[in-house]
A and B are shown apart, each in its own frame.
Chain A
Amino acid sequence: EAQVTQNPRYLITVTGKKLTVTCSQNMNHEYMSWYRQDPGLGLRQIYYSMNVEVTDKGDVPEGYKVSRKEKRNFPLILESPSPNQTSLYFCASSPRQGVSYNEQFFGPGTRLTVL
């Protein structure tokens, strides 16, 4: 089944404890992206990647890191999480870069709470 998977789905952690949220897609998509969703603010892009070893900042990149060593994986890293990073996170992928008319496929989401 074609899908985007995220792990973990739920995570409660404490301030300053490094964590990684994994994202994997099995559709051979070139483009991948991370969003956070907060009440009243909708979905905001954190980072995106156009292909392996190519990443760039989205609208709200502060406090996050990403890597794209393989085409299928795009982990989101929080080196020192803070309570304002408590949010619902979505990973998404789409088949081609450089073409604007593409649907993005979303993962199921990761609910992160930072105490």
Chain B
Amino acid sequence: GESVGLHLPTLSVQEGDNSIINCAYSNSASDYFIWYKQESGKGPQFIIDIRSNMDKRQGQRVTVLLNKTVKHLSLQIAATQPGDSAVYFCAENGFTGGGNKLTFGTGTQLKVEL
């Protein structure tokens, strides 16, 4: 079946370094992707999104890259800070004909070391 998954369950980076979190998807019809951040004890929070007609989108300290050829998505965090420590999920947003359906990957734990 179709799936959205992550390559690494845990990523450790030094404070100030850049972080790259990867995500693979298998549904070639997917047209919209979202990255969520989930801090301990909280619900997922929207970080950034990208449509399939784009290759790159930048936000504040974050960049999402989409490679449709290999069905790969990445989240880059510049100058990683302790507050960035969290679990990061990529999600595929598919229009099912009736509404929004998010299919989530299993998540990557980002740990920022001081």
User: Which A residues form the contact surface with B (CB < 8 A)?
Assistant: 4, 31, 33, 35, 40-45, 48, 50, 56, 58, 90, 92, 94, 97-109
Contacts and interface: CB of A to CB of B under 8 A. Distances in A.
Interface string B70-109: 0000000000000000000101011100111111111100
A45 B49 CA distance: 20
Contacts of B49: 101, 103
A45 B103 CA distance: 8
7 tightest Cβ-Cβ pairs between the two chains A and B: A106-B43, A100-B95, A43-B104, A42-B106, A50-B99, A97-B99, A42-B104
Nearest to A41: B106
B107 to A, nearest CB: 6
Contacts of A98: 95, 98-99
Contacts, number: 72
B34 interface: yes
19 contacts: A41-B106, A42-B105, A43-B44, A45-B101, A45-B102, A45-B103, A50-B98, A90-B43, A92-B102, A94-B100, A98-B98, A100-B32, A100-B93, A100-B95, A101-B51, A104-B46, A104-B102, A108-B41, A109-B42
Contacts of A56: 98-99
Nearest to B44: A106
A4 B45 CA distance: 12
A99 B95 contact: yes
B44 A31 contact: no
Contact of B44 (A33, A41, A90, A102): A90
B110 to A, nearest CB: 15
B101 A106 contact: no
A31 B41 CA distance: 24
